[in-house]
Amino acid sequence: PPSSIEKKDVYELVAHELSKLSLMERHRVNQDVLGRNILAAVEPVQLSSLGLAALDKKLLTMKEKQYYTLAQSLNSPMIKDENFRLKFARADCFDPAKAALRMENYLKFMHDNFGKDGLLRPILLTDLDKAERDLLKSGSMQMLPCRDKAGRRILARIGAFGNGRHSLRNKVGLKL
């Protein structure tokens, strides 16, 4: 569809809208654009401990927890790790039902793709099969040696991702 919108017009509109915000609101918008989570920077200790307790309680009472139960039976150090569980709690703003479901889905994915090892520890390069290692070596995906301002790894994709012979599982395996 034809568009008469110029880049300059977009910049002017954004500037106009930002000028309506208070200094604190503009700061929050800028932090959000930069990928910095304002809530995480000022998260009270009580929130994380209460949120973690609520998640743990929900994990015990939820009905569909096949992979969480399997990880428990394997005595998985990963699911016992407070920081690991906090990632799920924070991802869903400490909603225990959503966080427990997210964690169960993650464990299912890891089990389906990496077997019992996926429930016991983070994935290593040695867990990738030859096709996945070849895809990684192709250079179309690069993990930068630095992190963004929020501490996340930066994964850059250059050009086509693989040559068409790689399965979705190969591609997903690399993104973990």
The model's pLDDT over 53-71, given as tens digits with 9 standing for 90+, comes to 999 999 999 999 999 999 9
Amino acid at 175: K
CA-to-CA distance for 120 and 111, rounded, in angstroms?
Answer: 10
pTM (two decimals)? 0.63
Q: Kindly give the parts of the chain with pLDDT less than 70.
A: 1-5, 35-42, 149-151, 159-176
Taking phi over 0 as left and psi of -120 to 50 as alpha, with beta for the rest, 95 belongs to beta
**pLDDT of 41:** 57
* Number of residues in the chain: 176
CA-to-CA distance for 103 and 14, rounded, in angstroms?
Answer: 38
